[in-house]
Amino acid sequence: MKDTIPADMPPAEDIVLSTQNLTKHYRVGGGGFGKSARVVRAVDGVTLDIRARETFALVGESGCGKTTLGRIMLRLQEPSSGTINYRGTELTTQGEAEMRALRKKLQIVFQDPYASLNPRMRVEEILAEPLRSHGFGTAADIRDRCAELLEMVGLRKQYLRNYPHQFSGGQRQRIGIARALANKPDFVVCDESVSALDVSIQAQVLNLLMDLQDQLQLTYFFITHDLAVVRQFATRVGVMFLGRLVEVATTEDLFAQPLHPYSMLLMSAVPRPDPRLRGQERPMMQGEIPSPMNLPSGCRFHTRCPFARDICRIEDPALQDRGGRAVACHFPLDG
**pLDDT band, very low/low/confident/very high, at 80 (cuts 50, 70, 90):** very high
Integer Cα distance of 100 and 116 in angstroms: 20
Reference 229, options 256, 258, 192; nearest CA is 192
**Average pLDDT along the chain:** 89
E-state strands within 160-309:
187-191, 219-223, 236-241, 244-250
Angstrom distances, CA of residue 226 to CA of 58, 272, 305, 332? 10, 13, 21, 23
CATH (one of 2.60.260.20, 3.40.50.300, 3.30.565.10, 3.30.70.100) for 1-105+213-270+282-335: 3.40.50.300
pLDDT of 205 higher than 90: yes
Predicted pLDDT of residue 25: 93
Give the ranges where 58-186 is alpha helix by DSSP (H): 66-73, 96-102, 123-133, 139-152, 169-180
E-state strands within the chain:
15-28, 38-51, 55-59, 81-86, 89-90, 106-109, 187-191, 219-223, 236-241, 244-250, 320-321, 326-327
Domain ranges of the chain: 1-105+213-270+282-335
Burial 200-237 (b: 16+ CB within 10 A, else e): ebbebbbebbeebbeeeebbbbbbbbbbebbbebbbbb
What digits encode the pLDDT tens for the residues 239-276? 999 999 999 999 999 999 999 999 998 888 666 665 66
Residue 322 phi/psi, 5-degree rounding, is -135, 80
User: Considering the entire predicted model, what is its pTM?
Assistant: 0.90
Q: Which of 68-77, 150-159, 270-279 shows the lowest mean pLDDT across its residues?
A: 270-279
Residue 70, strand partner residues:
none
Integer Cα distance of 274 and 11 in angstroms: 43
CB-based burial label for 116 (10 Å; 0-12, 13-18, 19+): buried
User: Which helix (DSSP H) or strand (DSSP E) does residue 159 occupy?
Assistant: none
pLDDT of 290 higher than 70: yes
Predicted pLDDT of residue 34: 57
